[in-house]
Amino acid sequence: MRIEGKKRYALLQAARDSDYVKKVYGGYLNVFVAAFGEEGERWDLFRVVDGEFPSMNELHNYDGFVVSGSPYDAYGDDPWILELCFLLQTLDAMQQKVLGICFGHQVLCRAFGGKVGKAYSGWDIGLRKVKIVKHFSPCSFLDGMDEFPPALSIIECHQDEVWEVPLGAEVIAFSDKTGVEMFTIGDNILGIQGHPEYTKDILNNLIDRLLTNDAIEKGFAEDARLKLQVAEPDRKCWERICRAFLKGKWNQWPTYSFDN
C-alpha cells in the first residue's frame, strides 16, 4: 500500500547487472535512482528479464514505471518480452506513466503496434547529438519547452531502432543516425533511444565487453571512446526531462545550464 505523500516508482529491469555496475554502483537500480530519483521516494526493482513482474493488483500503487535497456531484441518472442508487452498495454490502459530507455523505448513501440528492427546503419555507440522537434502537439510535462536548445548530446548504445511509431504517437526528437530518438503517446508514455542514465565509465566498460564478445570491431570502439573523451553528454538536462515526465510539469523544476 502506498504511504501517503511518498512517491513510489518501479524499475522494470530488462538486463542483468554487469559485474562492473554491481561493483561500482551496486546494480543498475542505483544508477537509475541516482539519475531520476528524489529524496523520500521509494523505488522497487523488478527483474523482468528473469521473469520478475509486479503484481497486477499492485500496479495502481505506483506513480510511474521505467523500462531499462537490454541486450535482448525488443521484437523477440521470449516469454518475458511478451509478458512485458502485455504489462505495458495494461499500464497504458490505466494511464500510468511509463518511461522507456533504449530497449524500453523500442518495446514500448512494439507493445502499442509500432515496428522495431535492426538499425539500417548499424551500431550507434558513443555520443550523439539529438535534435528536438520544436513543433509538435504539446505535452503537459514539457510546458516551457521554448527554453530548450536545438540539440542535446546523449550517450547511445544500440543496434536496433524504431522503424515506425505506433498510431497516435508523436516523434519529438531525431538524429542524423536514428529517425526516432524520442516519442510520446499522450502524457503518459515517453520513449528515449539513448541512455540519459549512463555515465561515461559505464559505457566504456560496455564497449570493453562488446569488444571481448566480438560484437564490434576495434576501430569502431576506439572511435567511440575518442568521442567520449572530447565531449560531454547533456546529462543534467536529460535527467530534468525524465524527472519532469515522471513527476510533474517541466516548469516545476529548477533551470539548468545547457552548456557542456
Please, how many CA atoms are within 13 Å of residue 208, restricted to the half-sphere of its CB?
9
- The active-site residue, picked from 195, 237, 239, 242, is 195
Is 102 among the residues known to form the active site? yes
**Whole-prediction pTM:** 0.90
Q: In the predicted model, is pLDDT for residue 62 greater than 90?
A: yes
153-204 pLDDT tens trace: 999 999 999 999 999 999 999 999 999 999 999 989 999 999 999 999 999 9
- The active-site residue, picked from 156, 181, 197, 239, is 197
- Distances in Å between the Cα of 226 and the Cα atoms of 100, 186, 232 are 28, 38, 12
